[in-house]
């Protein structure tokens, strides 16, 4: 369960001087933690509640020219293969994801692109693509890919009011022109939980105090084809930007310092505690074992 033994096994490493490639602190395995969580949930016949995630702003731009438009996705998610947007057929549009730490920043950048290149009228023009290829849009644009059906994708954009953790809101109206649209889709939901390790500090002649901290969010990503799951860590300062006000209602998982799940708070009134194995007379009780744990 704890991985520090593996990370600290570099031969000849000096932990105090930092020589060698080592991890000096305790490392817990999120994959094993997730397996424990699933086992505990299955035992109660419940599922981990989903958490809404903030949508991102995008542009949908149709190719109304008389030729195929070709470009590289700046995000390079196509394995360096060019994006080809045909002028005819069912799929003639490109999706453009804009940059911005907040929804307001993303919306402003989408509006700049929409107006600068008159995308609503001109669609996916040669002027826009030329500047994309020249790298002139790198401060505004994160990705561009396709092809897709213009009207189908444009109709997925809706008016969004997203509430942030601090109580402020972002109002993102959907704008649709003849040949381009921009805005956000409805918020999707994700499987994510906040992992918190309970550590107490004992000081001289004092009651042990629990160390304060928000823990770390763990998102579960499922491969669409293979259904294989993998875990992804998100520090709270970033997680609050993804989940906004919903961060406060994210399920919380309490761990001990060995990474053993002690409690799952589903934040809907249900709290699942790890069952203890009945103890033999004169011996303390012990929790059941899970694969990958030492407890």
> Which pLDDT score, from 0 to 100, does residue 265 have?
96
Angle value at C-alpha 113, between 111 and 116, nearest 5 degrees: 105
Question: What confidence score (pLDDT) does residue 36 get?
Answer: 95
Average pLDDT value over all residues in the chain: 87
Question: Within a domain: residue 290?
Answer: no
Q: What is the mean pLDDT of residues 2-11?
A: 49
Residue 11 domain-assigned (yes or no)? no
Establish if 124 belongs to a structural domain: yes
pLDDT at 52 over 90: yes
More confident residue, 5 or 47: 47
pTM: 0.77
Residue 2 located in a structural domain: no
**pLDDT tens readout for residues 244-275:** 999 999 999 999 989 999 999 999 999 999 87
- Number of domains comprising the chain: 2
Is the residue at 286 inside a domain?
no
Same domain, 160 and 258: no
70 DSSP β-pair partners:
84
Burial (CB count <10 Å: 0-12, 13-18, 19+), residue 266: buried
Examine the domain organization and report whether 192 and 46 are in the same domain. yes
Compute CA distances 22 → 15, 37, 221, 232, 259, whole Å.
7, 29, 28, 22, 20
Name residues whose C-beta falls within 8 Å of residue 283's C-beta, 6 or more positions apart in sequence: none
- In a shared domain, residues 59 and 159: yes
Note down the domain range covering 38: 25-52+188-273
What is the mean pLDDT of the segment spanning 68-74?
Answer: 92
Residue 285's CB is within 10 A of a number of other CB atoms, namely 10
In a domain, 224, yes or no: yes
| Same-domain pairing of 241 and 96 | no
| Digit-coded pLDDT (tens) for 187-242 | 999 999 999 998 888 999 889 988 888 899 999 999 988 999 999 999 999 999 99
Asked if 216 contacts 234 with a C-beta cutoff of 8 angstroms, the reply is yes
- C-alpha dihedral (176, 179, 184, 189), degrees to nearest 10: 120
């Amino acid at each position: 369960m704890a991985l520090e033994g593996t990370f600290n096994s570099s031969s000849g490493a000096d932990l105090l001087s930092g020589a060698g490639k080592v991890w000096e602190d305790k490392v817990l395995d999120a994959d094993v933690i997730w397996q424990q969580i699933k086992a505990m949930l299955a035992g109660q016949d419940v599922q981990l509640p989903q958490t809404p995630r903030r949508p991102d702003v995008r542009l949908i731009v149709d190719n109304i020219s008389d030729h195929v438009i070709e470009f590289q996705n700046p995000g390079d998610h196509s394995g360096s293969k060019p994006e080809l947007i045909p002028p005819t057929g069912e799929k003639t549009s490109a999706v453009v994801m804009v940059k911005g730490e907040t929804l307001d920043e993303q919306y402003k950048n989408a509006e700049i692109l929409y107006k600068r290149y008159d995308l609503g009228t001109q669609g996916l023009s040669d002027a826009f693509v030329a500047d994309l290829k020249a790298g002139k849009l790198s401060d505004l644009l994160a990705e561009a890919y396709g092809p897709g059906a213009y009207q189908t994708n444009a109709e997925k954009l809706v008016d969004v009011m997203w509430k942030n953790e601090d109580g402020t809101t972002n109002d993102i109206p959907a704008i649709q022109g003849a040949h381009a649209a921009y805005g956000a889709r409805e918020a999707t939901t994700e499987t994510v939980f906040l992992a918190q390790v309970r550590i107490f500090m004992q000081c001289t002649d004092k009651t042990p105090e629990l160390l304060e901290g928000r823990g770390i969010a763990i998102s579960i990503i499922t491969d669409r084809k293979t259904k294989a799951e993998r875990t992804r860590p998100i520090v709270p300062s970033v997680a609050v930007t993804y989940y906004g006000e919903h961060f406060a209602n994210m399920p919380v998982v309490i761990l001990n310092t060995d990474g053993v799940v002690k409690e799952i708070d589903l934040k809907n009134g249900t709290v699942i505690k790890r069952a203890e194995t009945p103890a033999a007379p004169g011996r303390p009780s012990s929790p059941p074992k899970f694969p990958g744990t030492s407890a």
